[in-house]
A and B are shown apart, each in its own frame.
Chain A
Amino acid sequence: MSSGVAVDLEDIWIRFGDFVAVKEANVAIKGGDFFSFLGPSGCGKTTILRAVSGFLDPSQGQIRIGGKDMSGIGPNKRPTALIFQNLALFPLMKVWENISFSMEVTGASAKQRRKRADELLDMIALDGQGDKLPSELSGGQKQRVAIARALCANPDVLLLDEPLSALDLKLRQHMRTELREIQQRVGITFIYITHDQGEALTMSDNVAVMKAGVIDQIDTGHNIYDHPATPFVASFVGENNVFRGRVKEIKGNEALISTNRSGDLLSSISPSQVGKLAVGDDAMMFIRPEALQLGPAKKSSKTTISANVINEEFEGNSFSVFLEGDGGKSVKMSVPNGGQDKISDRGEVLSLHYNANNAVAMPAGELASE
């Protein structure tokens, strides 16, 4: 098995006429990494992947695979294999012919091809189904055939374009672990595209979050979740409560933000934004629902928010309490289910405490639309 090779995107711009689909993308993907592009629909994820696999040339910039410049090299000459968003299995070929197509074009004998296809069918737990047509497989099975077909080409880099989006929840979760296992087994570089943040966080070593053609942040899943760099990332990845305000004071990597509703609140500054936030700037502060805790009323504290309860929902492992927040938006608090009947009553005023380390402040910006 090949140990994966690195993929570098250097200052990539991709334009369709006047429309800029990808803007100034700089990405360094390590060999053997499971790397995800995460972003809402239409943000340019597929476009980046097509540029990497060679189906379109970036308008500007350089793509290197294993250190080698890929400009002018066609998709059939690149060491990549792409799993298409719609799978693109060949409908007129049997499953085993589909899988071994990459060997057929190099002139391998039918016997060799069949042998390799059977090995791969074994690996994807579809042994004995080689003689079916793709139309006779279930969605998850097609998925696995597409993966096997791509792996059969022995690529150095496997590109996956939302391969799980068509599957139902259970199967999707199952396939996540399966994909991760396959990646660890074959050890090649995976570049994975998704608009599902759960998928990106569970599977990836590193994630790039995109918004309308721009890459906002590249980091580990952990850091993306805990230290989002932009309001978009903070609101797109996971649930978050946003507080708008003005910077009143800055102390090291902490800022005091005066909000309309909750008074002055203390927050850490997102590591990448330290130094970019100045006193008097419009700022946004984010606190995760699970970082809020019930506590006694302490009016003076800079890490306390008091608000009226709007309603409460029981979610099994936790309670979600919604309180009145800024500008018509509610503040959500998540309380683990410890056996209590309920957390609060409607209209009750609660005091919510948080640790300033768990709050992130950054310059104000665009939020992900719900």
Chain B
Amino acid sequence: MKSDSLIRIALGAYLLIFFSYLLGPLLVMSLTAFNSASFPSVSPWACFTYEWFDVLLRDKHIRDGIYYSVIIGIGTVTLSVSMGLAASIVLTQVWPRLRSTYYTLIIAPILIPGVVLGISTLVFWDRVGAFLGVSDETALYGLFHNGLFLTILGQSTFIASYAMLVFVARLQRFDTGLTEAALDLGATHTQAFRKILLPFMRPAIASAAVLAFLASFENYNTTTFTIIDYKTLTTVLAQKVRLGINPSISSLAFIVIVLTVFAALVFEATHHNRKRKDAIAQGKVTPVKKGILPPFMHGNAAAFGLVALACVVIVMIGTAGKHDPQVCKADVREARMLETERRIKVLNETRALREQSEPAESTPNKPALAPSGAFGGVFAPTNLTEDDAEPETETPKGGSGAFDNVFAPTNLDTED
């Protein structure tokens, strides 16, 4: 009995740790999107703001990146879903002895590092161009060196394998007798495919398409080689990280997270609903009488979540226009200034005390540098590495001058 509850507590703790490990970073990242501090951070919390969404929407690079990511995503979905479908049909119908060889062959691109796929795509199509003898001016040459074309092909090499795995799983449950029945009733092979197999595969095609799109959207390794002079969201973000980021990236992450959760909830809610309808049709469950809730929300946690999420998003969008963080920001600025002044005062006092004990040494520099030097103490060399990332906007104008004096001789005093 006792060990039982102990196990339960341990399990609970484990789950807590597990989920915070999984979701913690996402949560923190989402929060940083609403902090006015100009480096993504949660503490110290400055002001609640929506301005990073604004910054995000104004960023042309990101907008272009998203645009091309979507285009490449659509291209990749089309290509890999059709290739994957064809491959899976062949796989389930080939001669059994060849099946495992064929399977290994088709699955190989998943095992090959994306970087290798990217480089080989680039090299391959360049060689193809050279082999065909196309010169620089022709359209074909342009195509073989076009970032979008190459990226779609490069990504599809392995995303098609993912799609195939999805299709094979579904095809294994297909009763080939149905195709035979269709043929027997006079259908041609094309008709049997279109009217029997394709409708059966529809759910798998939908999930493979979503999977392919997501895989394409988030791909970096392959894309970075094949994209050449275009850009996708991932390559833009990678560039930004290199140059220093601001919370507009967090706001992008937040949007992506919300969309994902939204899609998951929609799927779950409709799935739940469909299952329920089936159960009602089979007479296993009695439909609920009219209540306060609309019927589709009955016993459907996902639908609740969906409605709640929609409400939150609507409220956020509604308040975004009205919410003005300027007052708060000014307050924060003022608070900092006051804090700085307080510290200066404290420092001055300690210095005055020290001067009394050793008057001769530091007298010459003192009058001019005292206040800034004190401020510099806050940004003492040891602090420098983490604080220089914090851009100027937050710091009061006056402070920057003080900053320059970090290495002022007076600082050396405070060191010991």
Contact = CB atoms under 8 A, between A and B. Distances in A.
Interface string A188-214: 000000000000000000000000000
A92 interface: yes
Contact of A76 (B178, B188, B195, B281): B188
A246 B406 CA distance: 123
B184 A105 contact: no
Contacts of B184: 53, 55, 75-76, 80-82
Interface string A64-98: 00000000001110001110101011111000000
A60 B181 CA distance: 25
A105 B180 contact: no
A101 interface: yes
A102 B177 contact: no
A149 interface: yes
Contact of B195 (A75, A104, A149): A104
Contacts of A74: 183
A81 B196 CA distance: 18
B182 to A, nearest CB: 7
B291 interface: no
B185 A92 contact: no
A277 B343 CA distance: 125
B186 interface: yes
A88 B192 CA distance: 13
A284 B185 CA distance: 47
Contact of B180 (A84, A91, A150): A84
A148 B165 CA distance: 38
Given A90-B196, A92-B199, A104-B195, A82 B186 contact: no
A364 interface: no
Given A104-B195, A136-B281, A90 B181 contact: yes
B186 A88 contact: no
B200 A76 contact: no
Interface string B173-211: 001011011111111100100011001100000000000
B187 A82 contact: no
Nearest to A50: B180
Given A88-B175, A136-B281, A76 B183 contact: yes
Contacts of A76: 183-188
A302 B196 CA distance: 66
A105 B199 CA distance: 15
Contacts of A153: 185-186
Contacts of B178: 88, 90-91
Given A55-B180, A86-B177, A105 B200 contact: no
A280 to B, nearest CB: 52
A150 B181 CA distance: 9
Interface string A173-191: 0000000000000000000
Nearest to A154: B186
B177 A84 contact: yes
Nearest to B178: A88
Interface residues of A, number: 24
A32 B184 CA distance: 20
Contacts of A300: none
A101 B177 contact: no
Contact of A101 (B175, B180, B187): B187
Contacts of A55: 180, 183-184
Contact of B185 (A86, A91, A105, A136): A105
A136 B282 CA distance: 8
Given A88-B175, A92-B200, A105 B187 contact: yes
A369 interface: no
Interface string A141-157: 00000000110010000
Interface in B132-191: 175, 177-178, 180-188, 191
Given A88-B178, A90-B178, A101 B185 contact: yes
Contact of B177 (A53, A80, A88, A105): A88
Contacts of B199: 92
A101 B187 CA distance: 9
A104 B191 CA distance: 10
Nearest to B181: A88
A106 interface: yes
Nearest to B177: A88
A325 to B, nearest CB: 45
Contacts of B177: 84, 86, 88
Nearest to B278: A135
A329 to B, nearest CB: 41
Nearest to B202: A92
A2 B12 CA distance: 73
Contacts of A82: 180-181, 184
Nearest to A53: B184
Interface string B335-378: 00000000000000000000000000000000000000000000
Contacts of B191: 105
A12 to B, nearest CB: 19
A105 B188 contact: yes
Contacts of B196: 90
Among the interface residues A74, A76, A86, which one has the most CB atoms of the partner chain B within 10 A?
Answer: A76
Contacts of B180: 55, 75, 82, 84, 88
A81 B185 contact: yes
Interface string B362-406: 000000000000000000000000000000000000000000000
A86 B181 CA distance: 11
5 contacts: A75-B180, A75-B183, A105-B182, A105-B195, A153-B185
Q: What 8 A-B pairs come out closest when comparing CB atoms?
A: A102-B185, A88-B181, A88-B177, A105-B187, A75-B183, A76-B183, A82-B184, A76-B186
Given A55-B183, A89-B181, 4 more contacts: A75-B180, A84-B177, A90-B196, A153-B185
